[in-house]
Amino acid sequence: MRVLIAGLIGGILMFVWGAVAHMLLGLGSIGMKLPVAEDTVLTSLQQGLGMQSGVYMLPSLAPEKMSDPAAVHAYAEKAKASPYAWVVYLPQGDDLTQMGPQLGRQWASDTLSALALAFVMGLAAFSFARRIGIAAAVALFAWLSAMVPYWNWYRFPLDFTLAALATQLIGWLLAGAAMAWWLGRAEHKPA
């Protein structure tokens, strides 16, 4: 029960921190830019990508052509001379101002993450400092294993990637401190 409560505390704090980081501090939009001619880009997306939702990398090379040296060479030349884009595409659109379902999923994600962290933090009678160290290590692990590959392979902007590190590390340190306090308090409670 103490791990469950610690996870709920951590999930709530991480969710609140995420709101502060994105809405007040603007960490979630660092590195994002507005298009110069949005309507032109939107029209060309529908013409060039069709009606299939997905993630698109432009320019692109079909996997079955990776063994064709001429196709790889042509792609390499095109890639050097062309702009690059990594696009999450929904042809039908979505009302991004209606955030209710997204907020619910974010809270669930934060809480499930916090429950996993609380489980690890509660495995032994670690000190408060060691539990905070575990929270920091988990935040760094998540960032290094998810965001750094996006920076490396998909060219996510460095400032966007570093802002994600700040968001995750600060958030999990705050949530981790509250979770560590709760777990330590629950361990030393008289029977």
Using an 8 Å Cβ cutoff, are 9 and 179 in contact? yes
Q: Mean pLDDT in the chain? A: 93
Sorted by where each begins, the domain ranges of the chain are 2-44+97-187
Q: What share of the chain is helix, strand, coil (3-state, %, to 5)?
A: 70, 5, 25
The 10 Å Cβ neighbour count of residue 128 is 14
* Structure confidence by residue, pLDDT tens digits, 110-125: 999 999 999 999 998 8
Model-level pTM?
0.84
- What is the spatial distance between Cα 98 and Cα 13, in angstroms, rounded to a whole number? 23
83-116 confidence digits (pLDDT tens): 999 999 999 878 888 888 999 999 999 999 999 9
Sequence-distant (6+) residues with CB within 8 A of 133 are none
SS3 47: helix
Sign of CA dihedral 103, 19, 156, 32: positive
For every residue of 124-153, DSSP letters joined together read S---HHHHHHHHHHHHHHHIIIIIHHHHHH
What is the model's pLDDT at position 186?
Answer: 63
pLDDT confidence of 187, banded at 50, 70, 90?
low
